Amino acid sequence: MLILPFVGVGSVFGHYTVKPNLCLLWVDAHADINTAEETATGNLHGMPVSFLVQQVNEKYKNPNALLGCFDPIKACINASQVAYIGLRDLDHYEIQILKDLKIAYYSMRDIDKMGIFEVINQALDKINPGLQRPIHVSFDIDSLDEYLAPSTGTAVPGGLTLREALCIGEQIYQTKMLSVLDFVEFNPLIGDSLDVKRTMDTSKLIILSFFGKKRIGYKRVSLHL
């Protein structure tokens, strides 16, 4: 039995067992690709992508070394099938891994320079040219600016606006290839009641955008299952 303090590993691996040709869009302030060898904190929640990407397991110290008595995790996704949007808080070693493995990543500065539509289109073109692969989206609430989502444990200033987040959801919906959405790190135990309500209201709007809710109307969607 495998029990880990992050959703992404189990969710992506479970998805892979059904749809091994998936691609992964990771929307987050953090890259979550630290390895057992270089992590500064030892926190597993900063390492899920390192468990999943085949090339990390081949080129660096295997993340499974930290698990001890737990069952090892099988790396299941190619680096070319992973893209990040919203990055702004990375360790130096994580940046080096992204560059070494040529993983597509778009920071908030890239969004400022190119605009959110261009960033989404470039990311999808990198990991899903022709839109033939099922899309797994991992959306971390801390990808948003902390004003919009204060009830999270690792908030970072200067994140996505609500408009940018809704654009991501709407654009992914339009591909008709969304297969899995993980929406994570909303913690209602953090902040006062107004913080929790603001985070919850923001979360609901973004989740609905991935399933067909548009800002000019709503259309129900059948998932690509």
Higher pLDDT, 168 or 37: 168
In this predicted structure, what is the pLDDT of residue 124? 98
Tell me: the pLDDT tens digits for 104-142? 999 999 999 999 999 999 999 999 999 999 999 999 999
Mapping DSSP to helix (H, G, I), strand (E, B) and coil, where does residue 40 land? coil
Band the pLDDT of 57: cuts 50, 70, 90.
confident
d(CA 172, CA 193) in angstroms, rounded, equals 31
48 in Cβ contact with 6 (< 8 Å):
yes
138-181 confidence digits (pLDDT tens): 999 999 999 999 999 989 999 999 999 999 999 999 999 999 99
Confidence of residue 5 (pLDDT cuts 50, 70, 90): very low
Residue 181 — φ and ψ, nearest 5°? -125, 120
Cα separations (Å) of 104 from 25, 80, 167? 10, 8, 19
